[in-house]
Amino acid sequence: MPRPTPAAPEFQRNAFAPGILAAIACLAGIALVGHPYYLAVLFIIAILAVIVGWFAIQARQWWWAPVMLAIAILWNPFYPFGFSGMWWSVAHIVAAAAFLAAGATIRIPRTPTR
C-alpha cells in the first residue's frame, strides 16, 4: 500500500538563504573591520541587503524594505563610512539579527506547478 505524500508547504521563503548568508557575513565582518578584506564584506552585505529587500517588496512586506535599504547604505562599499569601534560592532550584530528576522518572516504563497 503506497504511503500518502505530504502536502506541499503553502508558503516559500525566498529571503531565507540570503538572510542567513548576510548574517554570517555581518558576524564575520566584525573581526575584519580595518582589514583590507573588509571591503569584500561591505560588498557582500550591501548586495545581500538589496536582494533581501527585493524579496520583501515582491512578498508585499514593505516594512522590511527601509531596513534593508538602510543596511545597504550604511555598508555601501563605493563610498564607505569611516565607522569603527564598539558601536560599529554592535551595528553588525543588529544587522545580522535583522537579516535573520527578515529571512524568517518574508514569505510568499507557493504557486502550484503542473
| Grid cell in block for residue 30 | 566584525
Q: What are phi and psi of 54, to 5 degrees?
A: -65, -40
Tens digits of residue pLDDT in 15-62: 999 999 999 999 999 999 888 898 999 999 999 999 999 999 999 999
pLDDT for the residue numbered 114 = 66
pTM value is: 0.85
Provide the 10 A C-beta neighbour count for residue 56: 22
Q: How far apart are CA 104 and CA 16, in angstroms?
A: 6
Residue written as grid cell 538563504: 17
Domain ranges of the chain: 23-107
pLDDT for the residue numbered 9 = 66
Tens digits of residue pLDDT in 57-105: 999 999 999 999 999 999 998 887 778 889 999 999 999 999 999 999 9
Q: How far apart are CA 56 and CA 78, in angstroms?
A: 24
| Grid cell in block for residue 84 | 569603527
